[in-house]
Structure 1
Amino acid sequence: MDPSQSAPHQYVLTLSCPDRPGIVHAVTGHLFRHGGNILESQQYNDLDTDRFFMRTVFALPAVESSFEVLQDGFDALAQGFGMRWTLRDRSQRRRVMLLASKFDHCLADVLYRWRIGELPMEITAIVANHPRDTYRHLDFDGAPFHYLPVDQGRRHEQEAVLGSLIENTQTELVVLARYMQVLSATLTERLAGRCINIHHSFLPGFKGARPYHHAHARGVKLIGATAHFVTADLDEGPIIEQDTQRVSHHDTPADLIRIGRDIERRVLAQALRYYLDDRILLNDGKTVVFAV
């Protein structure tokens, strides 16, 4: 027998439901009965909402064809607990679309981390409201590029094309890598829980445009960046990841922008890593992030 055919295959299960006794026992027992070997498990009970959250990585021997049976059986179990759940083969890469505008530092960083294998995903498209020549120094490594300008009075048409592109490419996650356009309520509703934005501020402070200038005007001593899910309310979506860096009165708005670029890159990359490895669970207006 080919040794590769008997190598365990890994899956990741995430779930949330109203808290009650017996959830972990039921889940782990179901995995055990179907030959699953748990490799990693994290759980959290939100006392404010009385909801239970769980992320479990498990392996099944490749020689067994029990995954479909396991999955079908889990559906019945989940209904009994009122669960919202996902079950994914870890070998299947997520399909991700990157949106960018003139400032390309986040796009460049994500592309680099993707090329070296740090962000295991399949890029379905790179979409920008600036022409390809704007990014002539970037290596797209074969990823399709689409120039979708946002013309005065034709935003609805541009977004309709974008929505069709997302659907036709079977994109699972849309990343606004400093895409400086506001998505409509219709599109954000379609992308609920699968559209991540990087905002150049430590939310909830300094929302909207020119946050570094507003921060400088207030004399802040810390600046930061926030990765969050996009909702119809501007910069109000559930927060995934944040980071900060100390600044001083010597720093100009240009200094804050320069420092902020580094923060934005690392915050967006970390949020992407969490999403690609099924570590983010929505909890109403917040998130539960099962960090490594």
Structure 2
Amino acid sequence: MSDRSMVLVLSCPDRPGIVSAVSSLLFEAGCNILDAQQFDDTETGQFFMRVVFDRLEHAKSEAEIAASIEELATRVVMTFTLRQSSAKKRIMLLVSKFDHCLADLLYRWRIGELTMEVTAIVSNHGREHLASTDLGELPFYHFPVTRQTKMEQEARIWQLVQETNTDLVILARYMQILSDGLSAKLSGRCINIHHSFLPGFKGSKPYHQAHERGVKLIGATAHYVTSDLDEGPIIEQDVERISHRDTPDDLVRKGRDIERRVLARAVRHHLEDRVVLNRKKTVIFTG
């Protein structure tokens, strides 16, 4: 995408003429629409739209276009985001001892599949626990945590988020439950990968819980973090069939593959502004 390409994502109460208003606004601003998707949620009465457009040679400036959209937003009670398609979001990765999701995201970042800037890698364990993952020269922070120091440790994480201007925090198998306070501060910009097909088997050792129940499918869920444990708006899920022959270790092994691909898809959706919150759910504008 060129620097002249932009992404507009909006939501508002549904009413006639929104698509026409947005299209006319961009046309009059000297822009060419490259892709447009919309969804009308008849249950909530909310309208959602994602538009990718180019500013042509004699188009209005970004500031002028933003001002026109802001004026429209005031009229129709609309919330929106607008950014250059080429702008990279700044990402912080939190991890504990299991580094397969971290390694996968870094690989996809290095080959250009995930367009982002990594601001930091934070772990509640020392760097030696991530010896199998090539961290390169990326900033690494070891913030150990105990029950007594949890609030202090989270304060350090939040300070780092602010200092690095981080846009998105990814819990890449970070095995600590965020407090209500930090969850609220990171609302809509913190993604967790849960090694279970939610809403079933919440909390710790979900694969062992699944084995005990004799399930025939296991899965993983990527969701936004909220104060309700493992109940945030779901972004992406996937499953894999298993049998009675599979042990808990087999489930963990197969689960690692599911977790990697589910988290990668969820992160990519977020990076490309394809996810819009719809109360406790999400609208995903897939490519």
TM-score (norm 2): 0.98
Aligned length, in residue pairs: 286
Deviation string, structure 1 residues 191-229 (Cα, Å, up to 9, x no partner): 100000000000000011110000000000000000000
- 1:115 maps to which residue? 110
Structure 1 runs (4+) deviating above 3 angstroms are 62-65
Aligned counterpart, 1:153:
148
- Choose the corresponding residue for 2:243, options 241, 248, 270: 248
Q: Paired residue for 2:61?
A: 66
2:124 paired with 1:129: yes
Report the Cα distance in structure 1 between the residues aligned to 2:251 and 2:117, rounded to whole angstroms: 33
Alpha-carbon separation, structure 2, partners of 1:170 and 1:136: 27
Give the corresponding residue for 2:214. 219
CA distance in 2, matches of 1:167, 1:265: 27
Give the distance between the partners of 1:77 and 1:256, measured in 2 at CA. 51
Matched, 1:37 2:36: no
Unaligned runs of 5+ in 1: 1-6
Q: What corresponds to 1:235 in structure 2? A: 230
Change (3 A) 1:132 1:62: farther
Does the residue aligned with 2:159 lie in a helix, a strand or coil? helix
Partner residue of 1:188 out of 176, 183, 196: 183
The 8 Å contact of residues 89 and 167 in structure 2, kept in 1 or not, is answered as: yes
Q: Which moved more, 1:244-253 or 1:129-138?
A: 129-138
Q: Relative to 1, partners in 2 of residues 1:270 and 1:64: Cα closer, same or farther, differing over 3 Å?
A: same
Q: How well do the aligned residues superpose, as a CA RMSD in angstroms? A: 1.1
Q: Which amino acid aligns with 2:124?
A: N
The reply on whether 1:16 has 2:20 as its aligned counterpart is no
Aligned counterparts of 2:3 and 2:177: Cα–Cα separation in 1: 44
Q: Residue 85 of structure 1 aligns to a residue in which SS?
A: strand
Cα offset, 1:8, TM superposition: 6.9
Residues 77-135 of structure 1, C-alpha deviation per residue, up to 9 Å, x if partnerless? 11111111000111110000000000110001001001101001000100001101111
Identity, % of aligned pairs? 59
Residues 1:269 and 2:243 aligned together: no
Q: Give secondary structure in 2 for the equivalent of 1:163.
A: helix
Gaps of 5+ in 2: none
Alignment deviations for residues 23-59 of structure 1 (CA, whole Å, 9 cap, x no partner): 0000010000001100000000001101000000000
Distance 1:80 1:253, change over 3 A: same
Q: Give the match's secondary structure for 2:9.
A: strand
CA contact (8 A) 1:9 1:62 kept: no
Partner of 2:255: 260
User: What SS is found at the alignment partner of 2:229?
Assistant: coil
